[in-house]
């Protein structure tokens, strides 16, 4: 399907979703929110897709909410309500889909763009990429991202960065534990492919259930989570992938997983 604000390509069972509003630094408007949500929902149902990569066209990953549209909106309260809901639907879809989502951060990630980045499971950014929560700087209470950011960096650092609308670099983000890896701009595609290639070979069922468990672990108590782990392991043991995995281990060969 063709979209107005993004493009999708599929290469060897990996979907590459590219935000495509370079004239606005790929900032979120309602249309981008609708397009991205529809694309993610569609990819969630595709059993042949092993991983999803989120990228940005041009100089930035995502500049946040479209401030020019905020300025032009007659009912600014309703516009922000609609926009944040559109963003939240994308974030929820990314975190709940049982496929790894990889962020290829080629440049600026601010406000909602930072939230979109943090919703990804693995984040690779280019050297010097600028980031920030941004909301306070335009007199707006954060419409997304505060929970992700606070869980990652802790309360006091979250207050420092969010309340003062502090801009930081990819290098600082790496030190804060926000991103996984920093690369030179001309190495970003290769770094993404290195990660994506791993998921082409691993069992998509096991990877998806592991992602689910990681997310649930942030809110479950220990006993509840141990039970969920036991149930999930038992369920995955009934798959053809598990049978192939243990057979390959015993036979000392590499497994060939089919996602069944």
pLDDT tens for residues 61-77?
Answer: 999 999 999 999 999 99
Per-residue confidence band for 102, with pLDDT thresholds at 50, 70 and 90: very high
Q: Has residue 255 been placed in a domain?
A: no
Give, rounded to a whole angstrom, the gap between the first and last alpha carbons of the chain: 27
Range of the domain at 155: 6-200
Clarify whether residues 213 and 152 are in a common domain.
Answer: no
Average pLDDT over residues 239-258: 96
Residue 22: predicted pLDDT:
94
Above pLDDT 90, what percent of the chain?
98
- The arithmetic mean of pLDDT across residues 4-20, rounded, is 97
> Would residue 257 count as lying in a domain?
no
The residue among 212, 200, 252, 201 whose CA lies nearest residue 236 is 212
Query: Residues 81, 133: one domain?
Result: yes
Q: Does the pLDDT value for residue 108 go beyond 90?
A: yes
Do 110 and 217 fall into the same domain? no
Q: What is the pLDDT of residues 181-217, one digit of tens each?
A: 999 999 999 999 999 999 999 999 999 999 999 999 9
Residues 148, 210, single domain; the answer is no
Structural tokens at position 200: 């082409």
Cα 209 from Cα 233, distance rounded (Å): 9
pLDDT at 243 over 90: yes
Note whether 194 and 206 are same-domain residues: no
Q: What is the mean pLDDT of the chain?
A: 96
CB 166 within 8 A of CB 104: no
Tokens of 89: 């639907």
Check if the beta carbon of residue 125 is closer than 8 Å to that of residue 149.
no
d(CA 63, CA 22): 10
Above 90 in pLDDT, residue 249? yes
Taking the C-alpha atoms of residue 95 and residue 146, their distance in angstroms, rounded to an integer, is 15
What phi and psi values does residue 13 have, to the nearest 5 degrees? 70, 15
How distant is the alpha carbon of residue 253 from its chain centre? Answer: 33
- pLDDT higher than 80, residue 219: yes
Nearest to 17 by CA among 49, 42, 53, 41: 53
The predicted pLDDT at position 163 comes to: 97
How much is the pLDDT for 40?
Answer: 98
Determine contact, residues 90/137, Cβ cutoff 8 Å.
no
Q: Is the pLDDT of residue 27 over 80?
A: yes
Condensed to tens digits (0 to 9), the pLDDT of residues 131-151 reads 999 999 999 999 999 999 999
Give all strands (DSSP E) within the chain, no chain letters.
6-11, 14-19, 51-56, 60-62, 101-105, 108-110, 122-126, 130-132, 168-169, 181-183
- Do residues 171 and 226 both lie within one domain? no
Q: Is residue 61, in this structure, part of any structural domain at all?
A: yes
Number of domains in the chain: 2
Question: What pLDDT is stored for residue 112 in this prediction?
Answer: 95
Across the beta sheet with 181-183, the strand order is 6-11, 14-19, 51-56, 101-105, 122-126, 181-183
| pLDDT of 1 strictly over 90 | no
- Distance between CA 179 and CA 122 in Å, rounded? 7
What was the pLDDT predicted at 71?
A: 93
């Amino acid at each position: 399907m063709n979209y107005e604000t993004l493009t999708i390509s599929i290469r060897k069972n990996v979907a590459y979703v590219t935000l495509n509003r370079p004239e606005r630094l790929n900032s979120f408007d309602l249309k981008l929110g609708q397009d991205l949500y529809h694309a993610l929902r569609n990819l969630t149902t595709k059993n042949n897709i092993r991983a999803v990569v989120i990228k940005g066209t041009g100089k930035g990953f995502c500049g946040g909410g479209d401030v020019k549209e905020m300025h032009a909106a007659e009912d600014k309260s309703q516009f922000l309500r609609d926009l944040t809901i559109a963003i939240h639907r994308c974030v929820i879809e990314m975190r709940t889909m049982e496929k790894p989502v990889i962020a290829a951060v080629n440049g600026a990630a601010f406000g909602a763009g930072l939230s979109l980045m943090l919703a990804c499971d693995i984040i690779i950014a280019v050297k010097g990429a600028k980031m920030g929560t941004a909301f306070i700087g335009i007199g707006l209470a954060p419409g997304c991202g505060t929970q992700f950011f606070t869980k990652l960096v802790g309360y006091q650092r979250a207050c420092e960065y969010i309340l003062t609308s502090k801009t930081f670099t990819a290098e600082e983000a790496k030190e804060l534990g926000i991103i996984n890896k920093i690369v030179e701009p001309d190495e970003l595609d290769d770094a993404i492919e290195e990660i994506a290639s791993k998921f082409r070979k691993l069992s998509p069922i096991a990877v998806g259930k592991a992602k689910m468990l990681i997310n649930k672990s942030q809110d479950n108590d220990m006993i509840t989570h141990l039970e969920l782990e036991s149930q999930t392991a038992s369920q995955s043991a009934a798959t053809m992938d598990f049978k192939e995995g243990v057979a390959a281990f015993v036979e000392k060969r590499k497994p060939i997983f089919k996602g069944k």
